[in-house]
Amino acid sequence: MSFLPLGVFSQSLIFHALPAETKVLKLVEHRGSFDLSGLVRAEGNFFAISDKAQDQNIYQIKIDTLQHTWQIIQAISLGATSADRDLEAIDYCQGWFYLVDERSSQILRSHDSLSFAEIVPDWASIGLNPQALISDHVQQNGNAGFEGMALDCKNQILYLAKERGPRRIFRIDLERNTIQEPFAIALNAREDASCLAYEDLAQNPDYNGDISDLKFENGYLYILERFRCGILKMDATTGERIAFLSFHQVSYPQGERLYQEKDGKIPVFPMAEALLLTEDKIWVGMDNNGKAFNPRHPLLISSVADENDGSPIIMILPRPKNF
C-alpha cells in the first residue's frame, strides 16, 4: 500500500491499493445475472443485494477467500409487492436491515422475511418534494437518484446519499424524524481529478464527484466514488475530507478494465457499486451489468478470468492504518 499527500485535501492523505495486495472473489453457482449493488455484514454473516427489479430479496452470501469465490446461500424475501424496485444500498442496525429503493426514492427497513416498513423523512422541512426528487434525479438525470445509505446505529442517524448531478448527503434523525443537508458545501467543492479513469470527466470543470455507496464508522463517512475509482473518508461532523483510498491501479491498470463487451469493446462506465468495511479490509463490489471478464486484465489473468464468464466480483483491499 503506497501513499502520498494530496493537496486538494486539507491535512489528508491519498492511499493507493496495489494489485499484488488485492484479492478478487467471483460469484459462483448462480444461474442468470446478478447485478451486485450493496454489501453488509450483520451478526457475523455477509449479505448482498441486487438492483434488478425482480430481485426483491436480501441474499446471505458465503465468502471463500482461498478459492477466490462468493456464493448465495439463502434468499430473504422483503415481502414486497412492487414489481419495479431498484435496491441500491443496504445497512444493518439492531436487528433491522435498512435498504434504499432508487426508483421510488424510498427508504425501507426489514426485520425478518415477514415484515418491512417505509421510513418517510420530513422532506418538506427542507423544502424538497420527494416526487420531484424522483422525476429530476432519476427520470431526467439518467438514473442519478439515491444510491448510498449508511447508519450511525448508536445515535440512530441515517445518512442518505444522492449519486450525482449534484451529489448530496442527507442526515436523518430516526428518533426525531428530522432531516438536514449538512455537507452541501463540502461535497460540492471541486474534486481533484488526477486519478479519474475517464478523461472527459477530468476535463469537465463542473465535475464534483459521485457517490455509489456509503458507510459510517466511528464518526466518519466513507464515500465510494466509482468515477474516481476510490473511497473518500470524510468527517461526519465537520465535512472535512480526511483521506482518499484509490483503487485505480487495481481496477484500471494499463488501460485494461475488469470487464468487456462481447465484441471486445470496453464498457463506458465503471461499475463499483458496493462498499463494506471490516477491521483490516475494504470490500468493493463490482456490478458488471452482464458484461464478460476482460482476459487481458492483470488482476484476472491468474485468478478468476474466463472471457465467457459474466459474474460480478468482490475486490478485497487491505485497509490502510487509520483509514
Instruction: Give the per-residue pLDDT at 11.
Output: 45
Judged by average pLDDT, the poorest of 68-72, 228-232, 265-269, 272-276 is: 265-269
Q: Can you tell me the distance from the alpha carbon of 48 to that of 314, in angstroms, rounded to the nearest whole number?
A: 11
Describe the chain by its helix, strand, coil percentages, rounded to 5: 10, 40, 45
pTM for the whole structure: 0.89
Distances 247 to 90, 181, 231 between C-alpha atoms, Å: 22, 29, 8
Mean pLDDT (whole number) for 106-121: 80
Looking up cell 468495511 gives: 277
Round to the nearest angstrom and report the end-to-end CA distance of the chain.
12
Residue 174 has pLDDT above 90, yes or no: yes
More confident position, 235 or 137: 235
With bands split at pLDDT 50, 70 and 90, how would you rate the model's confidence at 74? very high
Distances 130 to 39, 109, 134 between C-alpha atoms, Å: 26, 18, 6
* 160 grid coordinates: 442518505
Mean pLDDT highest for which of 137-141, 296-300, 306-310?
A: 296-300
Q: Can you tell me the distance from the alpha carbon of 200 to that of 314, in angstroms, rounded to the nearest whole number?
A: 27
With bands split at pLDDT 50, 70 and 90, how would you rate the model's confidence at 55? confident
